Structure 1
Amino acid sequence: MVTATAPDGFPRTVGELRASGHVLRPVRDEMRENLLAALRDGREPWPGIVGFGDTVLPQLERALIAGHDVVLLGERGQGKTRLLRTLPLLLDEWTPVIEGAELGEHPYEPITPASIRRAAAMGDELPVAWRHRDERYSEKLATPDTSVADLVGDVDPVKVAEGRSLGDPETIHFGLVPRAHRGIVGINELPDLAERIQVSLLNVMEERDIQVRGYTLRLPLDVLLVASANPEDYTNRGRIITPLKDRFGAEIRTHYPAALEDEVAVIEQEAHLRAEVPDHLLEILARFTRLLRESASVDQRSGVSARFAVAGAETVSAAAVHRGAVLGEADPVARPVDLGTVIEVLRGKVEFESGEEGRELDVLEHLLRRATADTVRERLGGVDLAPLVAAVEAGGPVITGDRVTAKDLLGELPEIDVLDEVAARFGAESTGARASAVELALEGLYLARRIAKLPDDDGQLVYSG
């Protein structure tokens, strides 16, 4: 949230505002014009949104140009909330409001009784404040205990106790929606709202006003309502009532990244890594996540969130940091052996079909092996690894694990040209990166059944002929 004051020189009274030539634009017009200007100028309206460029974003842009309220439908972890939170970037950076007004009303159009009185009494001297666009986005996570008062408003007993009568509209304490006047309201997991609470939004979306407990007060609100929902919620936890669905001008389906490179880009963008995680490990995690989404053993109605791959990358990097701390490696780099920690830590993030009870670990390990093998074929296709097989068969066993440093791993192999070729394929220059690349080649040979791999008595992994 931006708390800085507006730049110096902005008008501070409504008279100065009119003299400056400022024109009032409804929120929908403001967003439409700013979006079209960005598209014409070639500027990116949706920074940080990956994988939706040819599908979701064009639909959303058309909805905003049309001035529609929008509901995003999609499984968990598809970036619905992130997309909603980029919408304020289409608002003007600063907008004028009546200073001290409860609802942030525009100085040209006061809507509450108190602001109307002030505007009539003060005329051109009505004070103006400036609100940043980040303050014009309000978000609510829909929960079953959400009330009409939370969203719309209710009688404020404190104001009644001050001497106002119950019939006085100024006894109302406004809820989230009216307080977002001239802004955007985002509601996450809309079907979780009780149906009677959803009814309270009908007037907001059609007549663009609110009514509280039978009061005659009607506020002509200027808000854009956007929401997210899981499609399964229509029949499981709750549903969006038909009249409310009808009032949304656009219903847009989101999806998981269609391309592997987009999946990797999401991980790179969202993960907070504590150590270097080479690209080939991120690719394995991306492939692993995509295989889980295709598996008949996994409940696809729940989906496999992008957060799974992000958390996996963070776990792998943490495993490298842990090994570095224990073994004294100054700049630890994640290796394929660290991928095993993903299964141990994150299996609870995947929901399996009921018939797979007891086989969860087997399914995860199988799919991780497939993801690793696919990455090896993609990355090392055309490289003759026979000299590496011969080196493993002729020399002693090659040991890796959480108690083996990158230097020790490389020291177990002779200096052969194929290791340089493998490192070059992965762009591996440091000792840690080189060890990670060589270990992946060894794992690929094991998965192709060209060498063996067994755990030793200390829990480390031994590659041998």
Structure 2
Amino acid sequence: MTDAPTPRTVGQLRESGHVQKPLRIEIRDNLLAELAAGENPWPGLHGFDETVIPQLERALLAGHDVVLLGERGQGKTRLLRSLVALLDEWTPVIAGAELGEHPYDPITPESRRRAEELGDELPVEWRHRDERYAEKLATPDTSVADLIGDVDPMKVAEGRHLGDPETIHFGLIPRSHRGIVAINELPDLAERIQVAMLNVMEERDIQIRGYVLRLPLDTLVVASANPEDYTNRGRIITPLKDRFGAEIRTHYPTELHDEVAVVRQEAHLVAEVPDHLIEILARFTRNLRESNSVDQRSGVSARFAIAGAETIAASALHRATRQGEEQAVARVVDLETAVDVLGGKIEFETGEEGREGEILTHLLRTATAEAVRGHFRGIDFGLLVDRIESGQMVTTGEQVSARNFLMGLPVLGESDLYDQVCDRLDARNDGERAGAIELALEGLYLARKISKESGGGETVYG
């Protein structure tokens, strides 16, 4: 954040050469400047480059209000919050003004009176762009007063006449004058509340208990919603939907690397989680989205994979602490802990009751097998399979440290099989090497080359 500009009165502001811009022109100019410079105006958003982002950019250039439609966990809120970066870092406002009007253009009766009385001495404050973004989670108990405003009984008690426009306490949308107001889960608003927004969206005036104030509000209204064919809590009324200039459908990442990038970016990990485990979680999530056993109308949120990564990291830290390991590194054995706690985040189709755990386990094994094929293609595991078939067993689990796991591996003579496996996953320390070889063993089990038994905190390949 840079320091705010120095002008502190309207006179000083004019002398500085400051030019007032309407909000939509400001956003348009800043967006065009970033695009012309080859910069990315949307950092942290993955998988939207060819679909959602171009549509949103065209809507902003056209000056449209925008509603994003999509299932849960598709990044709608993050995308709305990223709009803040397209505002000027600092903008002048009338000091003490309730609606943050531009010093050149007061719109409320009080601000106009002050401008006439003080002239060039009208005090100016500088507002950072972060303060020009307001967000409201729509809930059924949201009132017209919350969004639009209401008569303030305290101002009436002070002696003002009830018909005085200065008795009005403004709501969220008027207070977002010269800024962005975002409404999450718009269909949850009661229909009568949505009706109250009609004039704000089109005529840009507000109506409160019989008052009609012709306030030229300069506000960009953006909203998010689940598709109407899914949400059971309400809908966007047709007149309000018509007032949004752009309706943009979001989606889950279509490419695996975008799914992985989202998890890496959003997950707060308390231990090291190797890339191949993040990949398995990403594949697992994508398999769930394609499964006929899962209710696809509700979607499988990106938060599922994020929570999974955080869970297996916690499992690794738990094991490392109990086993006295210096470094906590997640391994394949930790994936089972994710299945145990994440089932409640998925909505299954009717008729799948009682099979939830079986479905999750099957799809996780499918994801693991896909990752094994992708990473270990071309490696000959015949020697390791022969050693295990001859009676040697490999023990792992939450009670087995990485060092003990590596020491318990079958001796393969002069073979560099273990090194090949570790090189494919760029495994360097004991935890990473144990995780790589454990993934190979799990792949052999899933390919029906060896067997596996679990119980008592241990997993035995044999």
TM-score when scaled to structure 1? Answer: 0.97
- 8 A Cα contact 2:94 2:103, kept in partner: yes
- Any unmatched runs of 5+ in structure 1? none
The one-letter code matched in structure 2 to 1:28 is R
Q: Could you say which residue in structure 2 is the equivalent of 1:409?
A: 405
User: Does 2:214 align with 1:218?
Assistant: yes
Distance, in Å, in 2 between the alignment partners of 1:196 and 1:287 is 43
Q: CA deviation at 1:397?
A: 1.1
Q: CA deviation at 1:364?
A: 0.3
- Any unmatched runs of 5+ in structure 2? none
2:24 to 19, 28, 53: 28
Q: Does the C-alpha gap of structure 1 residues 207 and 47 become closer, same or farther in structure 2, counting only changes over 3 Å? A: same
Q: Does the C-alpha gap of structure 1 residues 9 and 90 become closer, same or farther in structure 2, counting only changes over 3 Å? A: closer
Q: CA deviation at 1:165?
A: 1.5
Per-residue CA deviations over 1:199-226 (Å, capped at 9, x if unaligned) read 1111111111212111142211000000
- 8 A Cα contact 2:403 2:430, kept in partner: yes
The one-letter code matched in structure 2 to 1:60 is L
Cα RMSD between the aligned structures? 1.2
SS in structure 2 opposite 1:441?
A: helix
Q: CA deviation at 1:286?
A: 0.2
- 8 A Cα contact 1:398 1:463, kept in partner: yes
Per-residue CA deviations over 1:356-407 (Å, capped at 9, x if unaligned) read 0110000000000000000000010111111221232335310110000001
Q: CA deviation at 1:313?
A: 0.2
1:461 to 452, 459, 462: 459
Q: CA deviation at 1:7?
A: 2.5
Q: Could you say which residue in structure 2 is the equivalent of 1:139?
A: 135
The one-letter code matched in structure 1 to 2:440 is A
The one-letter code matched in structure 1 to 2:123 is P
Q: How does 1:271-350 map to 2 (within 5 A)?
A: 271-350=267-346
- 8 A Cα contact 2:283 2:367, kept in partner: yes
TM-score when scaled to structure 2? Answer: 0.98
Per-residue CA deviations over 1:399-434 (Å, capped at 9, x if unaligned) read 110000001111111254100000000000101000
Distance, in Å, in 1 between the alignment partners of 2:352 and 2:231 is 24
2:148 to 149, 152, 173: 152
The one-letter code matched in structure 2 to 1:282 is I
The one-letter code matched in structure 2 to 1:386 is G
Q: CA deviation at 1:233?
A: 6.0
- 8 A Cα contact 1:151 1:175, kept in partner: yes
Q: Could you say which residue in structure 1 is the equivalent of 2:72?
A: 76
Q: Could you say which residue in structure 2 is the equivalent of 1:236?
A: 232
Distance, in Å, in 2 between the alignment partners of 1:251 and 1:151 is 22
- 8 A Cα contact 2:230 2:297, kept in partner: no
Q: Could you say which residue in structure 2 is the equivalent of 1:421?
A: 420
Distance, in Å, in 2 between the alignment partners of 1:221 and 1:352 is 46
- 8 A Cα contact 1:232 1:301, kept in partner: no
Q: Could you say which residue in structure 1 is the equivalent of 2:443?
A: 444
SS in structure 2 opposite 1:274?
A: coil
The one-letter code matched in structure 2 to 1:438 is I
- 8 A Cα contact 2:10 2:124, kept in partner: yes
2:172 to 173, 176, 181: 176
Q: Could you say which residue in structure 2 is the equivalent of 1:384?
A: 380
Q: Does the C-alpha gap of structure 1 residues 9 and 284 become closer, same or farther in structure 2, counting only changes over 3 Å? A: closer
Distance, in Å, in 2 between the alignment partners of 1:171 and 1:234 is 42
- 8 A Cα contact 1:27 1:224, kept in partner: yes
SS in structure 2 opposite 1:240?
A: coil
Q: Could you say which residue in structure 2 is the equivalent of 1:268?
A: 264
Q: Does the C-alpha gap of structure 1 residues 9 and 335 become closer, same or farther in structure 2, counting only changes over 3 Å? A: closer
SS in structure 2 opposite 1:36?
A: helix
Distance, in Å, in 1 between the alignment partners of 2:238 and 2:328 is 55
Q: Could you say which residue in structure 2 is the equivalent of 1:11?
A: 7
Distance, in Å, in 2 between the alignment partners of 1:223 and 1:65 is 15
Per-residue CA deviations over 1:85-144 (Å, capped at 9, x if unaligned) read 000100000000001111100000001111000000111110110000000000000000
SS in structure 2 opposite 1:86?
A: helix
The one-letter code matched in structure 1 to 2:419 is D
Distance, in Å, in 1 between the alignment partners of 2:250 and 2:4 is 42
Distance, in Å, in 1 between the alignment partners of 2:254 and 2:153 is 53
Aligned length: 459
- 8 A Cα contact 1:191 1:234, kept in partner: no
- 8 A Cα contact 1:233 1:239, kept in partner: no
- 8 A Cα contact 2:4 2:126, kept in partner: no
Deviates more, 1:163-172 or 1:66-75: 163-172
